[in-house]
Chains A and B, each alone.
Chain A
């Protein structure tokens, strides 16, 4: 099982450029999440989805958009990249929303905006 797969692993963007971070999972999980991790900080929730066609904002949604057309895929879109979006981005999925349910994370995408 591949689990949660993110592409690309690394990317350098210029200010104002756009890009999509891809995330796909093969565990048939309904629940998917996008987090960002800044240096020396914990992960912060950007957006989440409870199923195909349903998304909602997390703690830090500004500057990002998401879509969920299939159970497997949950892409994150940056429309106008800013230096403040330099971070490591993690996609995750879970089979339940029970509080102690394990979330499975991808390997991360390291994004630098210059």
Chain B
């Protein structure tokens, strides 16, 4: 059972424009959601998180929006830069208070100059 889903395997965006990456989940008990970024031949690195009691969290060019009624979250990157080209994973802790993460399949973002 895929509890966290990223239905877009890839996304291509022009440099300077907005990138929007989407994530859907089925488990309404998730209390946090996290986004990780992964470059080729490297491990994932943490990008931004959001608590389930909030609907928005912003950190510089990165903003995550949470719509609990739709069980949907999205990551916005504005403006997109070439260094943002990577695979982005949405994740959530399996058990409340634990860091055992369940990951989505990932979305490969390509920023075109």
A contact residues vs B (CB 8 Å cutoff): 4, 31, 33, 35, 40-45, 48, 58-59, 90, 92, 94, 96-108
Interface contact B106-A45, CB-CB below 8 Å:
no
Pairwise interchain contact A103-B98, C-beta atoms closer than 8 A: no
With known contacts A42-B105, A43-B89, A100-B32, A107–B99 Cβ distance under 8 A: no
Given contacts A4-B43, A100-B49, A100-B50, 8 further A-B contacts (CB under 8 A): A31-B99, A40-B106, A42-B4, A45-B94, A100-B32, A100-B51, A105-B44, A107-B42
CB of B70 within 8 Å of the partner chain: no
Q: With A42-B89, A45-B94 known to touch, is A58 a contact of B100 (CB < 8 Å)?
A: yes
CB distance from B11 to the nearest CB of A (A): 15
Name 23 A/B residue pairs within 8 A (Cβ), A-sorted: A4-B43, A33-B100, A40-B9, A40-B106, A41-B106, A42-B6, A45-B102, A90-B43, A90-B44, A97-B98, A98-B99, A99-B51, A99-B93, A99-B97, A99-B99, A100-B32, A100-B49, A101-B99, A102-B49, A103-B101, A104-B46, A106-B43, A108-B42
> When chains A and B are docked, how far (Å) is the Cα of A104 from the Cα of B105?
19
Partner of B103, one of A4, A42, A94, A106: A42
A105 CA / B43 CA spacing, docked (Å): 5
Contacts of B45 in A (CB 8 A): 105
Distance in angstroms between the alpha carbons of A48 and B51 in the assembled complex: 23
Q: How far is the CA of A35 from the CA of B89 in the complex (A)?
A: 14
B 29-46 binary contact with A (CB < 8 Å = 1; else 0): 001101000000111111
Interface size class of B (residues with CB under 8 A): 20 to 34
Expressed in whole angstroms, the Cα–Cα distance for A30 and B41 within the complex equals 26
Asked whether B96 is an interface residue with its Cβ less than 8 Å from the other chain, the reply is yes
- The CB with the most chain A CB atoms within 10 A, among B31, B43, B44, B104, is that of B43
Contacts of A101 in B (CB 8 A): 99
Contact assessment for A44 and B103 in the assembled complex, using a CB-CB cutoff below 8 Å: yes
Residues from chain A with Cβ under 8 Å of B44 in the complex: 43, 90, 105
The CA of A29 and the CA of B98, in the complex, are separated in Å by 14
In the complex, which of the residues A41, A42, A97, A107 contacts B43, with contact meaning CB atoms closer than 8 Å? Answer: A107
